[in-house]
Structure 1
């Protein structure tokens, strides 16, 4: 299992998430996005509808239903109802279902000392579990891989 840590510095998750999800869909994959609360899920879902008037990222939430038909499923639950192979964790979320996915992206706010410390702890736990790890840092030009383990 590969776990990629995405260290946000130049933009918040609301701005980075659409770019990451577009790449997931372009690669022909489905994704589950886990957020910290039901309100946060709805805020992210609303943002995905409005962030760019030209681009559309098909997605759904519990309120929308039809989880199995959604290429992108946003949730505050540890689940995989759309048979996704990609898990995106936001808001410091963790999952006990990593084995259900091929890859996990852990996206965290690098401008928060608390979020960064928590991400370091998740890195240590993932390393101890034997996962292949990659660390990406956001720059003004995009993402740059800064480290890997396993």
Structure 2
């Protein structure tokens, strides 16, 4: 049974920099030995996340890379892959979706980050309904 978890941004530090929440979710996944695929909205977001994963915690090392067509099978073993919409990365059981549409493809669990701004939450409500219609187990978490 697939599962969708919605993380609602609430804490000031996540309101100021929502990608910090993504970094925290990635850290938890890496600590649990779960390979992660992050579906970035665009190249700029992928690059910003790439930079932030290196710098957000000086004591954390989160091996990651932006996926590209030149990657080898060995590169694909990197625990955290960041994919832009143009790329077709290999499937992972855990997906963090930062795009405007529901994630699709083979995965066991998808994490959705919900903005703090109530006006920006409407698309996430639609995604909640779509995942529910697909038969996913749904959870929400205040962050």
Give the TM-score taking structure 2 as reference length: 0.84
Segments of structure 2 that go 5 or more residues without pairing to the other structure are none
Q: Aligned ranges for residues 14-93 of structure 1 at < 5 Å?
A: 14-62=19-67, 65-66=71-72, 67-77=75-85, 79-81=88-90, 83-93=91-101
Distance, in Å, in 1 between the alignment partners of 2:18 and 2:101 is 13
Which structure's relative contact order is higher, taking Cα pairs within 8 Å and 6+ residues apart?
Answer: 2
**Structure 1 counterpart of 2:129:** 124
5+ residue gaps, structure 1? 139-150
2:12 pairs with 1:4? no
SS in 1 for 2:64: coil
1:60-90 Cα shifts (integer Å, max 9, x gaps): 0135844412110011237442x42100011
1:56 Cα deviation (Å)?
Answer: 1.1
Following TM superposition, by how much is the alpha carbon of 1:125 offset from its aligned partner in structure 2, in angstroms?
A: 0.9
Q: TM-score, normalised by structure 1?
A: 0.80
Q: How many residues align?
A: 134
CA RMSD of aligned residues (A): 1.9
User: Of residues 86, 109, 115 in structure 2, which corresponds to 1:109?
Assistant: 115
Which residue pairs with 1:147 in the alignment?
none
Runs of at least 4 residues off by over 6 Å: none
